[in-house]
Every structure is written in structure tokens, then in C-alpha cells.
A and B are shown apart, each in its own frame.
Chain A
Amino acid sequence: MMSSSPINILITDEPLDVTNCSQWVMTPESGGIDVFIGTVRNATKGKTVLRLEFEAYQTMAIREIEKIAAAAFEQWPLQKVLIHHRTGVLQVGEIPVTIAVSAAHRDAAFTACRYIIDTLKQTVPIWKKEFFEDGEVWVAAHP
């Protein structure tokens, strides 16, 4: 179904559907669509990662993501923005985040997509725990 808003934000514990995400931002006016797909890597700093767990402060996370999308529209001539983030336990290779951006021209789509993921990593209250063979750690929690 067609949404009337050009912004689509979701935090879910279900797998993300990348195909539907990129299709959602496509418009007849789109000259460029940029998609970022984050994936769970099997290693960090040379250490084997078994899985990741993501936790969100849902109400505030949605609000902060809305701010990021609004700021992206203010800064670049965009058509549609989609930001989906998954929570719960994810295995290696799974997708915790998908961002899709459409614009008339590619430069705006490229730059806005980068801005969105970079800012999400700085301001949105979502936390990632890495599980190793010898323990687990919340990312970025300690110096």
C-alpha cells in the first residue's frame, strides 16, 4: 500500500526485507537510489564474533531517527527516505539496519544515505552486544 509520507521508519525484531525497502523509495522522478545494508560480521579486531544482540529504547529511538530523516530532507533535495533497524539476536550475515534514499540526482542520494547511517550511529539509543567464544561485551561502553 502506498504511504503518503516520504519517510518510512521502523524498529522491529523481524528480519528486514531489503528488496521491499529499496522498492519503497523508488518513484517515477527518481534518478538515483542509494541503499545501505549493514550486516553482522564474523570478526571484530581480529576476534571471532558468534552473534550480535541489539537493544533499543524504542520510543526515543524512533524520535531520534525521525529527527535524522527530517534533517536529511532539509539538507538535500530528496524524494523518499527509509530507515529500518532490527533488534534482538542476529547471527553472522544477518542485517541489523537498512537505509534507502531516493533523489532526482545521485549526489544527494549518496550523501544523504551516508549522513543518515553516520548520525544514527552517534545519536540513536540502540545498543549492540558482541558475543565471543570467551564472553560478551557492549560495544563502545568502556574506554
Chain B
Amino acid sequence: MTITVLAFGVAKDIFNAPSIQLELVNDATVMSLKYTLEQQYPRLKQLSSYLIAVNNEYALPEDYIHQRDEVAIIPPVSGG
């Protein structure tokens, strides 16, 4: 399946785009998504950390991603 990953902050700079398209197996886990992202964008590994949000909620590594989910990469937040 193809999913769109929304990007913000430094992740948007790394992708050089506000979102990217990624090809994943059906019902991939968040962990495998991160692995695929880091394969294609090695600079992600230089970040102090990052999380994945699925449908506007922080996701766990073992959570599944489905076709119509809204997926975002969340670099370290720094609001306030």
C-alpha cells in the first residue's frame, strides 16, 4: 500500500517536502514504517528522537498502519 507521511519542523527539511509518499506492505507496523523512513532518509537517524502519529495520536511501535490512516512524523517538539 502507498501511504502519505506528513512532515513538520526539521523532518520537513529532511524530506524537502511537507509530505512524502511511501510504499509499505499492507498492515505494516509503526516500527517497520520508521525502518523504511530511515532507509530512505538516513538523516532521520541524526535526530535526537522522533515519534510517529497515526490519526492525530502518538503511536506505539507495534501499532498497525492502515490504508486510510493519517500518518505524520513528529520531530522533537519545542512549543511554548
Contacts and interface: CB of A to CB of B under 8 A. Distances in A.
B1 interface: no
Interface string A126-143: 111100000000111111
A6 to B, nearest CB: 22
Name the prevailing secondary structure of the A interface residues: mixed
A81 to B, nearest CB: 15
Interface residues of B, number: 19
Contacts of A122: 77
A20 interface: no
B78 A59 contact: no
Interface residues on A, range: 20 to 34
Contacts, number: 80
B78 A126 contact: yes
Q: Which of A57, A63, A126, A129 has the most CB of B within 10 A?
A: A57
Nearest to A117: B80
Given A56-B79, A121-B80, A140 B74 contact: no
Interface of B: 6, 8-10, 13, 46-48, 53, 56-57, 72, 74-80
25 contacts: A38-B80, A54-B79, A55-B8, A56-B79, A60-B72, A85-B80, A121-B78, A123-B77, A125-B8, A125-B74, A126-B78, A127-B9, A127-B10, A127-B75, A127-B77, A128-B79, A138-B10, A138-B75, A138-B78, A140-B76, A140-B77, A141-B10, A141-B75, A141-B76, A143-B48
